[in-house]
Amino acid sequence: MTHAADTPRPTRFAPSPPLLGTIAAPGDKSISHRAIILAGLAIGTSRISGLLDSGDVAATIGAMRAMGARIEQDGDDWVVQGVGVGGLMQPASALDMGNSGTSARLLMGLVASHAISATFIGDASLSRRPMARVAGPLADMGAAIDVAPGTRLPLSVRGIAPAIPLAYRLPIASAQVKSALLLAGLNTPGATRVIEPVATRDHSERMLAAFGADIAVETDGDGVRTIILTGRRDLSPCDLTVPGDISSAAFPIVAALLVPESRVTVTGVGINPRRAGLLRVLGEMGGDIVLANQRDVGGEPVADITASHSALHGTDIAADLASDMIDEFPILFVAASMAHGHTVARGLGELRHKEADRLGAMAAALAACGASARIDGDDMIIDGSGGAPLPGGATIAANHDHRIAMSMAVAGLVSRDGVTIDDMASVATSFPSFVPLIERLQAGA
């Protein structure tokens, strides 16, 4: 692999030798955001180990510092002195979210129930992403929200204290909207209720409980979850370890399944049931994936995952699985393009609203590399190569999307003529060590 020294950083991923070795995944991005925010609201000092060191998490750290939390790095750990629920300070300038939609949406919720105002800005990619799903219910709680046309950044939130407790039924499954409302509920008197017809990742519920929030979850006979948070309760400081991010581990795992003679172990990976859909699907496709040393870390289930080269076969992925692996579909599409037979992934409209239109961008990228991929409504349909290398030879536009960049990098490893990614800079938002890690595995590290 070679890449230019300056940004943009085009990088060519050539056909790979076997990938061999044991590595650790970077810290879970979703959990890292929530750990910094809740530690910043606790009364006292929290210590966080395993925090993801990336551009996205840096945006959350910068915003919480701007609103009064003291956050310092101590070796590999982060030490956070919180301000207490209700204690956020008025930021002196706009909060720059960079490329982090998670930072923007969660912090909008946090600000909404405090008597402060904040302006949220972001890069060109983030400024194209809609914020209406969060802005609407926060306005119902009493926050005043001034948005750019299309309900996009730049965006200003003028919080209100006390806010109005809300009972909100999610029209579309979204862990970010749920989490934003729960964060708003922390400084809201009474009970804030979020109703989930389709369960989403529950990192927020687990971590709120760990910090001592008054939170309960009820599930009815139809599987509908209601999360009930009673606000204006102090949070206690917490020492916690962030598990490895399964969304990042997905790339070396799939690469090991596809590159002949490979065997890779990724240690300390979070396997939260609402995040592990990719592992279930890859197993159904015939992937040789073994989970070992299963344990609990910081309230989250964790395991060491070993993936070995496998002959995959196509599968049919139901729409109700989408929320359990929404971030992993780009790399799953690459796996499907190398499988024997036909894969259909259904109900993927949410992929159109990520950093890029991941549905359209991945269909175009795979087609440019010689794979058979097409879209039918919100479904992706892929006819696999039967294990034969993809032709490759293309230069792929990553569209400032880290998951597109890394997914097509893996496609390059199993291609005949290699694949060039036009710019790998976006990978710094979630997996800064991706390229050197792949090089280590190629060297048998």
- Residue 142 is predicted with a pLDDT of 97
**Candidate list 327, 357, 378, 401, residue with the active-site label:** 327
Q: What is the mean pLDDT of residues 420-434?
A: 93
Mean pLDDT for 259-272 is 97
The residue among 218, 219, 204 whose CA lies nearest residue 41 is 204
Average pLDDT estimate for 60-86: 97
Using the predicted structure, report yes or no on whether residue 2 has a pLDDT greater than 50: no
Domain ranges for the chain = 2-26+243-442, 29-232
Please, which pLDDT band fits residue 445 given cuts at 50, 70 and 90? low
pLDDT at 303 over 90: yes
pLDDT at 129 over 50: yes
Give yes or no: 327 in active site: yes
pLDDT for the residue numbered 323:
83
Asked whether 418 and 389 are in contact (CB, 8 A), the reply is no
Q: Is the pLDDT of residue 6 over 50?
A: no
Per CATH, 2-26+243-442 and 29-232 having the same topology is answered: yes
> Which residues line the annotated binding site?
29-30, 34, 101, 129, 174, 176, 327, 354, 358, 403
For residue range 148-189, what is the model confidence (pLDDT) as tens digits?
A: 888 899 999 999 999 999 999 999 889 999 999 999 999 999
The model carries a pTM of 0.90
pLDDT band at 350 (very low <50, low <70, confident <90, very high): confident
pLDDT of residue 313: 98
Whether the per-residue pLDDT at 203 is higher than 90: the answer is yes
Tokens 């890779």 belong to 264
Q: Is the pLDDT of residue 404 over 50?
A: yes
CATH of domain 2-26+243-442: 3.65.10.10
**pLDDT band with cut points at 50, 70 and 90 for residue 207:** very high
Binding residues for 3-phosphoshikimate: 29-30, 34, 174, 176, 327, 354
| CB-based contacts of 377, cutoff 8 Å, min separation 6 | none
Compute the mean pLDDT over every residue in the chain, rounded to the nearest whole number: 94
Local confidence band at 7 (pLDDT 50, 70, 90 cut-offs): low
CATH of domain 29-232: 3.65.10.10
Q: Summarize the annotated binding site for phosphoenolpyruvate as residue ranges.
A: 29, 101, 129, 176, 358, 403
The string of pLDDT tens digits covering residues 17-52 is: 999 999 999 999 999 999 999 999 999 999 999 999
Nearest-CA neighbor of 402 among 33, 54, 6, 31? 54
| Residue whose entry in the numeric block shows the structure tokens 């989403």 | 200
